[in-house]
C-alpha cells in the first residue's frame, strides 16, 4: 500500500492512471443521463443550484480524464519519435521523463540500450582500426619478403650490379613508404663514400659520385661506423636544427634512417631511406625491416662479383650473351613456383626466325650470326629489367615475363615481333627477317616449366 497521501498522480503507475482516466470518462455518460432525466421531469426554469453544480462538475471531471489520457499519449508519442531518431543513427539522443511511472522506465531502458549500442559501436570501430593496421602490416611484410626473394633471384641469375641495386632501392623505398632510398658505398682501398645508387628523387637512379659531407655529418657517419649503430633523424631525434638542415642540404630529406653495411666485419657503406614529412617519427617496425634489408644488401654487394663471373661461365650463350636454354628452363620453373606462392601469373614467349636455314645457306655463317646478335639485342631491349631473355635453340629465342598474364604477354610478343621486323625493313627483300611467336602462361597453359614450353613449341610447330 502506498504511503504517499498526496492527491497528485505523479507517484502512481501507468496502469493506475489509465484506470482513473477510464473511470473519469465513464462518469460523463452517467451525468448526461441524469441531465436528461432531470430535463424531462423538471422544467429548465425549475433547475436548482445543485443540478447546475452537478453538470459543471461532470464537465470538468470528463475534461480531466481527457487531459490525463492526452498526457499519457503525448509521452508515448515523444518516446516513439525519439526512438525512431535513435534507430536512424542519432545515438547522441537522450530521452528524458520527469514522472516516475512505466513510461519513465521505458525511456530509461531505451537510453540504456542506446548507450550500450554506442559503446559497442565504439568498440567495433576500435577493432576495425586494429584489423586494418594488422592487415596493412601483413601486406607490408608480404611485399617486403617478395622484394627480397626477387632481389635474390636477380643475384642468382647473374644480373649486373647496377640493375640489382636499382631494383633493390626501388623496392626498398616502396616498402618503407619513403620518398627516396640511398646506397652509399665505400670506395675500395679508400676511406671515401660514393653515392652508388639513388631511387625516388629527380636524379639518375644509378650514379657513382663522391659524397661531400660537412664536418658535423662526417662525424656522425664515422661514429655510426665505429659503433655499428643506426643513424636516425626524425622529430624525436636528439640532433639540433643545424644538423637536420645539413642533412637536408646533403641528401634532400628532413627525416632519415641510415644503416651501416658490413660483411665479415668489413665496412661496405650505408643503406638509407628518408622523406620530408612534417613531425615524422620512425617506428620500431621500420628499423627492424630496414635492418633485414641492409643485411641482405650487404651479402649482395660482397658476393655479387664472384657470382656474376661464375654464372656467366655457366648460363650465358657465347654468341648472343643471352641466357642459355638450360638456365631458361630452370629460371622458368623458379618463377612458376614464386608465382604460385604469391598468386601471380608468369608468361613465356618463344620467337622463331622464319627461313633462317635458307638465310644461312645463301649468305653464310657471319650473316646468320649477325642476325642472331641483332635479334637478341632488340628483344633484350624490349622487356623490363626483371624479365629474362635467352637463346632457346639455334634460331629460337625465349622470354620469361615475370608477373604478366597471357593478354599482357601477347601484347608484348606482338610489340617485339613488329619492332624486329621493322628493324630489318631497310635490308634487301631477300635478307629481311620475320618472326613467328608463341605465348603460354602459368597457370592457364600449365603449372610446370615443361608444360609451358611444350605448349609454346606446339604453337610454333603448327605455324611452320
Distance (Å, whole) CA 328 – CA 314? 12
pLDDT in the model for residue 150: 78
* pLDDT by residue, tens only, the chain of 464 residues: 444 445 554 555 556 666 666 666 666 666 666 665 565 555 555 555 555 666 566 667 666 766 777 677 777 767 777 777 777 777 666 666 656 666 677 777 777 777 787 777 778 878 778 777 667 677 777 777 777 777 777 766 667 777 778 888 888 888 887 888 888 888 766 678 888 777 776 666 557 788 888 888 889 998 998 888 999 999 888 888 888 888 888 888 889 999 999 877 788 889 999 898 888 999 888 888 888 888 888 887 777 656 555 655 678 888 999 999 989 999 999 999 988 888 889 999 999 999 999 999 999 999 999 999 999 999 999 999 889 999 998 899 999 999 899 999 999 999 999 999 999 988 888 889 999 999 999 988 999 999 999 999 999 988 76
Helix (H) or strand (E) holding 301: helix 284-315
Distance (Å, whole) CA 386 – CA 403? 10
Distance (Å, whole) CA 62 – CA 68? 10
pLDDT in the model for residue 320: 92
CA atoms within 13 A on the CB side of 427: 15
Does the structural domain 160-310 have CATH classification 3.40.50.720?
A: no
pLDDT in the model for residue 311: 56
Under a CB-based contact definition with an 8 Å cutoff, are residues 233 and 246 in contact?
A: no
pLDDT in the model for residue 389: 95
Question: Would you kindly state where each structural domain of the chain is located, as residue ranges?
Answer: 14-89, 160-310, 316-463
Find, among 125, 148, 124, 128, the residue nearest to 136 by Cα. 128
Q: What size, in residues, is the chain?
A: 464
Buried b (16+ CB within 10 A) or exposed e, 129-146: eeeeeeeeeeebeeebeb
Q: What is the mean pLDDT of the chain?
A: 80
Task: Determine the 3-state secondary structure of 393 from DSSP.
Answer: coil
pLDDT in the model for residue 264: 72
pLDDT in the model for residue 101: 63
DSSP 8-state code for residue 237? S
**Phi and psi torsions of 352, nearest 5°:** -125, 130
pLDDT in the model for residue 2: 45
Task: Determine the 3-state secondary structure of 432 from DSSP.
Answer: coil
Distance (Å, whole) CA 437 – CA 410? 9
CATH code at 316-463: 3.30.70.270
DSSP string, 339-352: HHHTT--EEEEEEE
Distance (Å, whole) CA 263 – CA 271? 13
Q: What sign results for the dihedral spanned by CA atoms 336, 332, 153, 410? A: negative
pLDDT in the model for residue 1: 41
Distance (Å, whole) CA 280 – CA 282? 7
DSSP string, 21-85: HHHHHHHHHHHHHHHHHHHHHS-GGG--HHHHHHHHHHHHHHHHHHHHHHHHHHHHHHHHHHHHH
pLDDT in the model for residue 318: 84
Amino acid at each position: 500500500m502506498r504511503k504517499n497521501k498526496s492527491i497528485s498522480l505523479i507517484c502512481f503507475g501507468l496502469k493506475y492512471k489509465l484506470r482513473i482516466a477510464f473511470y473519469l470518462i465513464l462518469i460523463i455518460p452517467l451525468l448526461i443521463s441524469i441531465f436528461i432525466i432531470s430535463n424531462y421531469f423538471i422544467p429548465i426554469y425549475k433547475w436548482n443550484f445543485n443540478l447546475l453544480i452537478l453538470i459543471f462538475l461532470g464537465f470538468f471531471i470528463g475534461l480531466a480524464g481527457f487531459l490525463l489520457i492526452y498526457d499519457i499519449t503525448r509521452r508515448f508519442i515523444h518516446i516513439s519519435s525519439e526512438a525512431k531518431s535513435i534507430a536512424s543513427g542519432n545515438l547522441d539522443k537522450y530521452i528524458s521523463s520527469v514522472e516516475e511511472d512505466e513510461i519513465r522506465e521505458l525511456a530509461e531502458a531505451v537510453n540504456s540500450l542506446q548507450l550500450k549500442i554506442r559503446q559497442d559501436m565504439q568498440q567495433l570501430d576500435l577493432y576495425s582500426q586494429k584489423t586494418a593496421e594488422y592487415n596493412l602490416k601483413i601486406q607490408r611484410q608480404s611485399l617486403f619478403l617478395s622484394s627480397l626473394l626477387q632481389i635474390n633471384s636477380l643475384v642468382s641469375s647473374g644480373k649486373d650490379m647496377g640493375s640489382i641495386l636499382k631494383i633493390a632501392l626501388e623496392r626498398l623505398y616502396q616498402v618503407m613508404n619513403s620518398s627516396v632510398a640511398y646506397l652509399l658505398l665505400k670506395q675500395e682501398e679508400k676511406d671515401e663514400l660514393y653515392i652508388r645508387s639513388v631511387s625516388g628523387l629527380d636524379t639518375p637512379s644509378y650514379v657513382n659520385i663522391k659524397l661531400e659531407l660537412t664536418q658535423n655529418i662526417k662525424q656522425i657517419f664515422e661514429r655510426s661506423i665505429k659503433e655499428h649503430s643506426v643513424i636516425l633523424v626524425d622529430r624525436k631525434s636528439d640532433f639540433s636544427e643545424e644538423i637536420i638542415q645539413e642533412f637536408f642540404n646533403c641528401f634532400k630529406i628532413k627525416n632519415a634512417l641510415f644503416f651501416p653495411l658490413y660483411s665479415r666485419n668489413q665496412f661496405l657503406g650505408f643503406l638509407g631511406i628518408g622523406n620530408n614529412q612534417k613531425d615524422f617519427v620512425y617506428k620500431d617496425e621500420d628499423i627492424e625491416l630496414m635492418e633485414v634489408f641492409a643485411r641482405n644488401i650487404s651479402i649482395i654487394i660482397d658476393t655479387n662479383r664472384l657470382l656474376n663471373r661464375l654464372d656467366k661461365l655457366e648460363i650465358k650463350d657465347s654468341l648472343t650473351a643471352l641466357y642459355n636454354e638450360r638456365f631458361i628452363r630452370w629460371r622458368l620453373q623458379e618463377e612458376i613456383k614464386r608465382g604460385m606462392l604469391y598468386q601471380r601469373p608468369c608468361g613465356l614467349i618463344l620467337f622463331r626466325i622464319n627461313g633462317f636455314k635458307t638465310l644461312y645457306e645463301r649468305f653464310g655463317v657471319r650473316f646468320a650470326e649477325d642476325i642472331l646478335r641483332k635479334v637478341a639485342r632488340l628483344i633484350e631491349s624490349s622487356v623490363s629489367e626483371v624479365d629474362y631473355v635467352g637463346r632457346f635453340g639455334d634460331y629460337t629465342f625465349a622470354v620469361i615475363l615475370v608477373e604478366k598474364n597471357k593478354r599482357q604477354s601477347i601484347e608484348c610478343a606482338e610489340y617485339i615481333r613488329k619492332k624486329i621486323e621493322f628493324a630489318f625493313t631497310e635490308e634487301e627483300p631477300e635478307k629481311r627477317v620475320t618472326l613467328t611467336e608463341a605465348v603460354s602462361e602459368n597457370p592457364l597453359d600449365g603449372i610446370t616449366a615443361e608444360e609451358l614450353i611444350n605448349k609454346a613449341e606446339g604453337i610454333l610447330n603448327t605455324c611452320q
